[in-house]
């Protein structure tokens, strides 16, 4: 069997694998500089600047670029990671903490409910942080401005082996005709300028590297919350028993 770098197509793929991390690094540097400059301008100009529509657009586009760069960087780094045993709930808690400023306004309408006595997971904790952060952020977007929006993040035992992270929301929902497309790259149900269409795609690829999965939960799933309009599930394999080679 030919190795992938023995043919032109393989060489092109190898070049892409080598160049992509360097390109992401080169993109991150000016992006960080632009974000820092924007923060300094906000401090100098006062709160009025942040209320201007043009400034909000600038900030949202910087955030969007950061999401793309960080997502692909996580994807490339996960490819080099070795799977490890880890406690799932504390990793998901990190994702919740990263979104604390967005979670706080929901008050009691946001719940993080990890079950007790769960087995350890096996995989890349960084990949789970990325996937959980993306799903929780999407849920927060879905309930934004939708009545008494509600979001719940659960960490539960899977019906078979393994652990599941369930992210449920009572938001706008996903139209039935679009459910089959939501994991396609560059496909988004969000308004123009408010989504890259890469978050779910990258999250699923990251989790699949180590035998995990990201799925949209069917209404018939017995573990689905009855009030949920939309529910996603991140599946994590259970770690092998201690002493298992």
Rounded CA gap, 221 and 213, in Å? 16
Residue with tokens 């706008």: 172
Of 68-72, 164-168, 234-238, minimum mean pLDDT range: 68-72
* Through-space distance between the first and last CA atoms of the chain, rounded to whole angstroms: 29
Sequence-distant (≥ 6) Cβ neighbours of residue 204 within 8 angstroms: 131, 183, 213, 214
Residue 116's pLDDT is what?
96
- Is residue 222 within 8 Å of residue 173, measured between CB atoms? no
Indicate the DSSP class of residue 184. S
Rounded CA gap, 148 and 146, in Å? 6
Residue 93's pLDDT is what?
95
H-helix or E-strand containing 133?
helix 125-143
pTM value is 0.70
pLDDT digits (tens, 9 = 90+) for 134-146: 999 999 989 987 7
- Is residue 131 within 8 Å of residue 137, measured between CB atoms? no
Radius of gyration of the chain (CA): 20
Q: Give me the mean pLDDT over the 215-220 stretch.
A: 94
What φ, ψ does residue 156 adopt, rounded to 5°? -135, 165
The answer on pLDDT for 118 being more than 80 is yes
Greatest mean pLDDT among 141-145, 149-153, 193-197, 206-210 lies in: 149-153
Residue 145 backbone class (left: φ over 0; alpha: ψ -120 to 50; beta: rest): left
Identify the residue with better confidence: 29 or 83: 83
Residue 64's pLDDT is what?
65
Query: Using 50, 70 and 90 to split pLDDT, how confident is the model at 7?
Result: very low
Rounded CA gap, 34 and 40, in Å? 10
């Amino acid at each position: 069997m030919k190795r992938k770098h023995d043919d032109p197509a393989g060489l092109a793929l190898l070049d892409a694998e080598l160049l992509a991390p360097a390109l992401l690094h080169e993109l991150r540097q000016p992006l960080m500089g632009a974000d820092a400059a924007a923060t300094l301008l906000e401090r100098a100009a006062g709160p009025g600047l942040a209320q201007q529509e043009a400034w909000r657009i600038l900030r949202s586009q910087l955030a969007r670029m950061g999401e793309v760069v960080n997502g692909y960087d996580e994807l490339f780094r996960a490819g080099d990671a070795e799977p490890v045993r880890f406690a799932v709930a504390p990793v998901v808690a990190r994702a919740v903490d990263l979104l604390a400023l967005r979670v706080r306004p929901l008050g009691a309408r946001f719940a993080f409910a990890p079950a007790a006595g769960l087995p350890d997971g096996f995989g890349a904790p960084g990949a789970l942080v990325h996937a959980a952060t993306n799903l929780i952020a999407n849920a927060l977007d879905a309930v934004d401005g939708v009545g008494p929006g509600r979001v719940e993040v659960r960490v539960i035992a899977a019906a078979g082996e393994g652990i599941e992270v369930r992210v449920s929301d009572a938001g706008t929902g996903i139209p039935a005709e679009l459910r089959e497309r939501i994991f396609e790259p560059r496909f988004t149900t969000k308004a123009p300028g408010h989504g890259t269409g890469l978050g779910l795609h990258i999250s699923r690829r990251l989790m699949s590297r180590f035998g995990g999965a990201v799925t949209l939960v069917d209404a018939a799933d017995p573990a689905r919350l009855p009030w949920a309009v939309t529910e996603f599930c991140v599946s994590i394999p259970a770690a092998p028993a201690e002493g298992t080679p």
